[in-house]
Amino acid sequence: MKRLKKLLIVMMFVSLLVSSLIFIPKPKFERINPFIKTDRPLVMAHAGGKGLEPDNTMRSYQRSFSLGVDVLEMDVMMTLDGVLVLLHGENNTGNTRSHSNCDTVVWKETYNYLYNACNFGCHFQDQEGNYPYKDMTFQQWVQSYVYLPTLDEVFQTFGKDILYNIEIKADSDAPRTETADALYDRIHQYDLEDYVLVATAFDDINEHILSHYPDLFVSTSYGSAQSTIIKIYTLTSLLSKKPLHAAIQVPTAYTLPVIGRLSLDTKYLIRTLHQHNMAMHYWTINDEETMRYLIHQGADGIITDYPDLLISIIEEIYGEAPSS
């Protein structure tokens, strides 16, 4: 009986300790965070909504803007002559061949060459299986807005009427911190510091931005996302310094060495991030079931190729469109 009593006391102590660690105030990201949801998750159009239109083109951005999305998600690279353009490229190489009729690398060409020679809609397949932009002439693909757009053009077109999620792509031997510096210059020129969330998978670029441009909203890199999540799951995030990141952007699960599958779509993780005034965004979510589940869990943003589907679900659940 005494042994049972001691065990119950220990269990109560542990329970109180865990509860205090969960609910004790956490160090917070210090600024008002526009990338945390208010009443519903942000609709974030991946590459402008690449399931609906050719990705990272003015056509895709215009389509998603007209749908009423909250955030235009896009990828940025720098050309040989220092122009910031919007393109994903192929991972590890940055080559354009899977996105256009050109077989080259963005940072090894001038913008004029890429604009005049490359049709960035030629590989797009619509939902009926057609390739509507494949055999176009230069004049036709320009008129269809599937040429390579510049960041300046996007900022001039949409300005402060929408939020932006801009990911720096720096595969292979691409310019790294130079791209980050140029991106900050463009954001500052258009006075969009409060409208842009800067993302990159690369830890070194992420650290460069945090140390040089503290007025930007920045998402975690791959390494910093894992570190933050592990601290939350081990109840040690309250011992950390004030977060410098405004958001974490992840899939719904990681597969980690030793640990194996680690779920990232838990209410506990999302709630704890909110205690740190950090947003949780999930990528790339294209099926209705997962969208509904993440909305139920309290996700702040859902990055999707099909913003029209997500908007229809939000209209059903909340009774109004995102832009209402």
Residue 3 confidence (pLDDT): 59
Residue 94 confidence (pLDDT): 85
Residue 321 confidence (pLDDT): 64
Residue 14 confidence (pLDDT): 39
Please tell me the total number of residues recorded for the chain in this structure. Answer: 324
Where in the chain are the domains? 41-316
- How many of the other CB atoms lie within 10 Å of CB of 159? 12
Cα-based distances in Å from 138 to 35, 101, 116 = 38, 12, 7
Which segments of the chain have a pLDDT < 50? Answer: 7-21, 324
- Fold classification of 41-316 is TIM Barrel (3.20.20)
Residue 50 confidence (pLDDT): 97
Residue 90 confidence (pLDDT): 87
Q: Three-state DSSP class for 263?
A: strand
